[in-house]
Homo-oligomer: A and B are copies of this chain.
């Protein structure tokens, strides 16, 4: 239990390190802060690299002690572990940056890669697994919803293209442009950069909005139900490793 408490503190430290990394990657892109070449950020980046590499190494080292790999040789256990999703996420948190130091990569791409470290938090978070389970369990129904949404967007967009293609040729002059409008309408985002001007176009838009409510209701219903099942079936336990 002494090592349990230690493990908990290391976990919290790693979560904080990830959050600090994400914050740094986000703020670095703000030109007015002029953080791009700040020495402190360079130092922090180097420290993070070492920490994440160390975490990866330790986890790989102790993999053979995991009961799931019982009966395998130490080398086999480590190789099996290295190919799991959590191990790959951990690897992606430091390896690309080491390589980029050797070859030199676009700064913007590096910022994105650094943001991906945020995904690491998923492994420390209780309940996250349940969310993914729900989405995975209902993948077929959700795909059917996606098809319906695609059909709704296509039909709305083509109707709007016919109705207002000549009225607003710069905004609704092709079906892809009209699909942009239809997507923003069906999902009820409604930026307001494109909207119908004629009476017939507004009727089409009204029907698209109604479709949008149904399009929201379907996945909500599917996910809600599935989530209930998963919540009832399992406790949320923090899984380390």
Q: Does A221 count as interface, using CB distance less than 8 angstroms?
A: yes
Our pick among B147, B191, B218 for the contact of A192 (Cβ within 8 Å) is B191
User: A45-53, A67-75, A93-101, A158-166: which lies at the B interface?
Assistant: A158-166
Q: Do B227 and A222 have beta carbons less than 8 Å apart?
A: yes
Stretch at the interface among A4-12, A55-63, A84-92, A168-176: A168-176
Instruction: Determine how close the nearest CB of chain B comes to the CB of A176; give it in whole angstroms.
Output: 6
Q: Which residue of B lies closest to A195 (CB)?
A: B191
Where chain A touches its partner, the secondary structure class is: helix
Is A29 a contact partner of B130 (Cβ separation < 8 A)?
no
Contact B140 A30 (CB under 8 A): no
A180 to B236, CA, bound (A): 32
Kindly provide the distance from the CB of A35 to the nearest chain B CB, expressed in whole angstroms.
11
Which residue in chain B gives the minimum CB-CB distance to A232?
B225
Query: For A216, what are the chain B residues with a Cβ–Cβ distance below 8 Å?
Result: 213, 216-217, 220
A212 at the binding interface (Cβ < 8 Å): yes
Q: Chain A residues in contact with chain B, CB under 8 A?
A: 22, 25-27, 29-31, 108-109, 111-112, 115, 118-119, 121-122, 125-128, 130-131, 134-135, 140-141, 143-151, 154-155, 158-159, 161-162, 165, 173-176, 179-180, 183-185, 187-193, 195, 199, 202, 205-206, 209-210, 212-228, 231, 236
